[in-house]
Structures are given as C-alpha cells and as structure tokens.
Amino acid sequence: MLKRPEPPTSEMTRSAIAVLVFCAAMNFFSRGVSETFAVFLLPVTKDLGWSRSTFGTIYFAYMATIGFSAPLIGMLFDRFGPRPVYTIGVFLFGSGFLLASIMEYLWQAILGLGIMTGIGISATGMTVASGLVSRWFAHRITLANALAYTGIPLGMVVIIPLTQVLIEATDWRTAYGVLGWVSLAMVAVIWFLPWQTMSDGADHIPPRQANRSFSLGAGVLRHPAFWGLFATLFLASVTVWSVMLQAVAFLISAGFTPVVAAFGYGAVGAMSVVGLVCFGWASDRFGQRNSVTVGYILSAVGVALLWQLQETPNLLLLMGFVVVFGAAMGSRGPAVSALVARLYPNNVAAIYGATTIGLGLGGAVGGWLSSAFFDWTGDYGAGFALSIATSLVGITLFWVIKPLSAGRWPDPNPVSDTP
C-alpha cells in the first residue's frame, strides 16, 4: 500500500514560517523603495527638464536590468546560496539611490536607478525567494509563493505614500538619499542572519541536485512551456507597468492631490495582497490556468475603470480601479513560480530567473512606451489601450500550452533542466 502523503499543514513549521516572513520582508522593502518611480516622475522631470520618455528610458534600463540579471542571480543562488546574493543586492540598490540623490545627467540616472538598482532588486526579490520557498513547501507551493509575494504590494502601500510625503516635506534629492542610507544600513543585518538553518529546507522534501554550472540546459530552452512562462510574465508586466508608471501623474492630471494620487497608487499594492493570497489559494484548488485567466480579465476591467476617471473623476471610481486592478496584480506571479518549481524541480532559482527576463522586458517596454505615447499624443489613452490589449493576449497562453494548462508534464521526463 502506498504511503499517504503528509497533509499540507505539516509544512507550516517555525522554520518554514520564518523563511516566508523573511522573503516577504525583503520584497516589502526592496520592491517598496524601488517602485517609487511613479512618485519621482513629476518632480525629477520638472527639476531637470527631462521629458516623460527620457524618464521612461531610466525605467526601461531598470526593468531590463532586472530581467537580464535574473538568470545570473538565480545561478549564483544555486551555486553559492542566499547570503552573498541578498547582501550584495541590498548594497547595490542602496548605493544606486545615493547616486540618484546627486544626479545631474541621464547617464548617472541610468547607472544608479537603472543598472545598480535593477541588479539589487533582482538579487533580493522572487528569483531568490522562489528558490528558498521551494526548499520548505511542496503541497501548497503556490500559496507559499503568494505569501512571499505579499511583501511587494505591502511595500507599495506603505513606502510609496511615505516617500511622496517626504518629497513634499523636503525635495526629491533628499528623499533618494534617505532611501539609500536606510538600505545600506540593512547590509550588516542581512549578512548575520542564520542562513544555514534557513537554507537547509524541510525534512519531507528530498534534497535536489541543483545545477551548479552557469547553464540552463538546452532542453529547457527548446520547450514551449518555458517560453510560455516567459511570455506570461512579459505580457503581465506590460499590462501592469504601462499603467502604473503613469498612474500618479494621471491621477494628478484628473484632479486628485499628489498625496491622494500616491495613496491610490499604494492602495493598488494593498489590494494586490488580497489578490496574491486568493489567487494563490485558487491556483492550488482550481488550477493555474483558470486563476490566470480570471486575473487577466480583471486587469482589463481595472484599466477601463481608471481610463474613465479622465471623464468622471471621483473617489468611488478610483476605488473600483484599486480593487479590481490591484487584485489582478496577484494572479500571475505565484502561478508562474509554482509551475517552475513543479516542472523544473532541480534548478528552480535559475529557471525562474530566466523567465523573469520576460518580467523585466515587459516592464521596460510597457513603461517606456506609455511614456513615449504621452510625449507623442499628450494623453494617457494609448498606454491604457496597450495594457488592455496585452491582458487579453496573455489569456491564450495557459490554454494552448499543455504543461501550463495541466500544471504538469504530460509524460514523466519530457525535458531536462540540467545540462
């Protein structure tokens, strides 16, 4: 008789919970401070005389760097473990903010806010967190990843409005300096955490033979499942960031105060906490295909509500956008990270990092195009239309690619995730 697997509740040990809390905390801080781009857009462009597309170029460099550095970060995690990766990441994005506080030229912004911050965020985000979480959870891997993801929207709802208040109380240079020094102060704390215990993993999860070479394996790159996951994150990122980078400026133009606009932006993050948990649970219960489909539909509806604010600005409509679009932000990431853990169990961090190139490129393309569209047309409509279009296209991937639709390989070993 086959041995009955342990119930999912057995995974919630103190160590497992501690790992989840740490991953969520790092997402809270690192992504919270990095996603302040939207509140810096107006003061920086006004003070330095830059166009929206110039500022969008900085954001393009930031998101592209996150994407292209993610595979290397994942491989470094598989090879050396989490301590050096997290420590260097925090140091880099802290230094990047300090450089931004004294920037005068575009190249300084691209280096500090684009490249240094991008690598730092990649090294402290879900690329590494997904590798850690997969060592502690198997039965409820999607929900566990969703809980780790909750740090990102919580950071948005807390840190972004506080940054807006700081900018109004001082100036944008001081605000960047504060973010930089606070980040650097965390370096020593990160280094001295009990990494041996955090890295060991749960007893019921067999040790995995991690790929310690800097390669993903040819079989991975040849299979449609990998590219489906890549495209899912790309389209989801275009959907989100073609709207969110311009959201604060759009709300101000619609008649809301800067602080209300910043709180609205952050509230989207707060609502996405609910979305992350609900969609994480729904993915485990009803399948990733169904939860991702609903998420993309909600994204399109949310953008339509935001667009309507241009004609009828009111708090009720703004709340509708926050609830619908915010909830949808939590629908794709946990599903993708869980599928990576299930389809490629021997090399989770590196392969999730490779798919994250799509996330970075999508944010880069969406953010830059929405900025350029505004410069070309003087209106936000083209960027919003782009968001709706990519959300509808994204639905198809989980219906036409069988491993994504089923949540497993159709046969035991169709593709190798080792060289």
Question: DSSP characters for 290-309?
Answer: HHHHHHHHHHHHHHHHHHHT
314 token code pair: 């009111």
Same domain, 253 and 399: yes
The mean predicted confidence, pLDDT, of the chain is 81
Same domain, 194 and 256: no
What is the 8-class DSSP label of residue 112?
I
Domain count, the chain: 2
Residue with tokens 């302040």, as numbered in its chain:
36
Residue at which a domain ends, from 200, 226, 257: 200
151 token code pair: 């740090």
pLDDT of the residue at 310: 85
**Does position 59 have pLDDT exceeding 80, yes or no?**
yes
Q: Which of 30-34, 57-61, 210-214, 401-405 is modeled with the greatest confidence?
A: 57-61
Residues constituting the chain:
419
**Does position 43 have pLDDT exceeding 60, yes or no?**
yes
Same domain, 45 and 125: yes
Residue at which a domain ends, from 200, 232, 247: 200
For residue 149, is it within any domain? yes
248, 261 contact by CB (below 8 A): yes
For residue 6, is it within any domain? no
Longest dimension (CA), the chain: 73
CATH of the domain at 150: 1.20.1250.20
Same domain, 183 and 236: no
Digit-coded pLDDT (tens) for 270-318: 787 777 777 777 776 777 778 888 888 999 999 999 999 988 888 899 9
**Does position 3 have pLDDT exceeding 50, yes or no?**
no
For residue 315, is it within any domain? yes
Average pLDDT score over residue span 325-340: 79
- Check the CA dihedral 363-364-369-370 and report its sign: positive
Residue with tokens 């911050």, as numbered in its chain:
117
Per-residue confidence band for 115, with pLDDT thresholds at 50, 70 and 90: very high
78 token code pair: 């598989």
Same domain, 238 and 112: no
For residue 294, is it within any domain? yes
**Does position 352 have pLDDT exceeding 50, yes or no?**
yes
Same domain, 175 and 227: no
Same domain, 340 and 231: yes
Same domain, 231 and 154: no
How far, in Å, CA of 253 to CA of 351, rounded? 41
For residue 222, is it within any domain? yes
How far, in Å, CA of 154 to CA of 195, rounded? 25
Per-residue confidence band for 119, with pLDDT thresholds at 50, 70 and 90: very high
pLDDT of the residue at 135: 74
Residue type for 250, please? F
How far, in Å, CA of 94 to CA of 88, rounded? 10
Same domain, 143 and 237: no
Same domain, 189 and 150: yes
**Separation of CA 35 from chain center:** 10
Residue at which a domain ends, from 143, 169, 200: 200
For residue 395, is it within any domain? yes
Nearest to 295 by CA among 233, 357, 356: 233
Domain range for residue 151? 14-200
Same domain, 264 and 193: no
For residue 5, is it within any domain? no
For residue 232, is it within any domain? yes
Radius of gyration of the chain (CA): 20
Same domain, 357 and 237: yes
